[in-house]
Structure 1
Amino acid sequence: KTQGAVSNLIEYYNGENIGVDGKDQEQYEPDDEGSTATINDVIFSLLLIHKDNIHMHINSDYEIKKCENIFTSMIKRFQDCHEAYFGLGKILFCKNELNKAIEMFELAVRTYQRDPVYLLWTAFALLYLYRRCPKHLPRKKELAVKIEKYIVEVLSHNKYDINALFILLHLVLDLEANHSTIKHKAKFSPEDLAIWIKEADSYKGYIAWSEVYVCRNKKKFSNDILEELIEFYPGNPEAYFRLWSLNKDTPVASLRVAERMFLCCTNFYTLETKMAMIIIFAESLYYNNLYL
């Protein structure tokens, strides 16, 4: 079922099937043990936290400045250095300079064989830009179409790319909620995408369903799913991130989630994820007047 869905999605956006037949693509084994480490781990964390500008605080100002100088110097010396374009794009993203970040990501894409990692980060930065664009502007629809096309290209390399599917899920949920103003209908429903994600990774699939339930005004169902995931996988941060974001307007509830996360989480793979955990815990303490 998913195989056909991938081909249909690609045909819908590109007008032709570009070869996702499962034979010559890198295979992804479904993961029933929770999260797995990837180079793009931070994308999934930021998508779940639902907090504006947290991406600006997960790296130190010193590291940002140092890396920006290095990548800028590399680009001046080697104008075909796709790694430097990508690195500078991530730095600019962390500085919240989204248009410049997207420009660098797109240069990396064009310079190096339309690499799926570069495509993914381009779509991710475009999603941030999309969220900030007023929904009555024509550009909102243009950004949505562009995100979809980049994600389709990522999925042509790996039909079970979790980050790509979650970016698409967030976009589709927003398009569905604002269809009267944006007037762009996605090919798949949020439920289709949640099923697709669950086929790839059971743990993250349940998180996808929690996203869908929130947008269906079934917050209790979403909370119940996340609480159960935390019970079975107490070391994984992702369910804590989403549960915290659902309760962040209730200081006591959000602090309880943050405390459990800070004590129990061990299965994370990037410094950025750890920094996100620290920021969430610190903010929860602050709003409960427990910071002194």
Structure 2
Amino acid sequence: MKSTSTMTEKSLHIINTKKGIEALLRQKNLNINKTISNVKYEKRLEKLQEEMLILQQWVAKNNKKVIILFEGRDAAGKGGAIRRIIQHLPPRAIRVVALPKPNETEMGQWYFQRYINRLPNNGEIVFFDRSWYNRAVVEPVNEFCTKREYDVFMSQVNEFEKMIQDSGIYLLKLYFSITKKEQERRFKDIVSTPIKKWKYSEVDKKALTLWDEYTKYKETMFENTQDAAPWKIIKANRKTSARIAAFEYILKSIPYETKDLERIRHKSLRTILNE
């Protein structure tokens, strides 16, 4: 831990703020450097959340429609990123879609049908915490679909996404990428934390064993599903950096008015923390 005698004046100022004091009090083991990092991250997050509200108001005012897909391995941090992005948005103007296993009726429908039913209305942003891309990776790896069902999906998905965009809907696709070691560490944290245990599913239990299979299908997905909407791969071993990167990509990709380019300019979290 860095002593106060070697700290910069700016660092001391951060520690002496309300946020700095709160960050210190939340720690079990006092760590000044970690406190400073947390405060800088929270300040950066607040600026991006303010800008996200401007984007949302533009969407609502102009009857625009936006879809943002969050994909990635189990425990990659998709849900946590979504929560930070929507934290200060009016709940009636957004929806988070995290669909359960299809029921008997849905299993008899065209695969994309239940997703079509959740597409945005005018003035709405819809966040998919996993999406139709379940059929590109999770389902074939775990044998939840047949090879024919997988092949049909892969032959249709680019045209499906082109139709979405041709109808005037903005479509963004984010993939949160973590290493095998990090996934294993997060699973251990989940199962050892009483309030997180519910997250650990039967699919999660097999994820590490099936790591290479997931990788194979993931790479095939990237290779063959870029035609209508490109993928943005977010390096997600560090959750804070991943959330900032996702925020910045969304804000840069939607051409909303009154965009504050200075506020959302790309700046890695590492750069921010070193300022």
Q: TM-score over 0.5 for the alignment?
A: no
TM-score bucket of the superposed structures, by smaller chain = 0.3 to 0.5
Q: Give the helix-richer structure, 1 or 2.
A: 1
Choose between structure 1 and 2 for higher RCO, CA contacts under 8 A separated by at least 6 residues: 2
Query: How high is the TM-score relative to the length of structure 1?
Result: 0.32
Structure whose residues are more often strand by fraction = 2
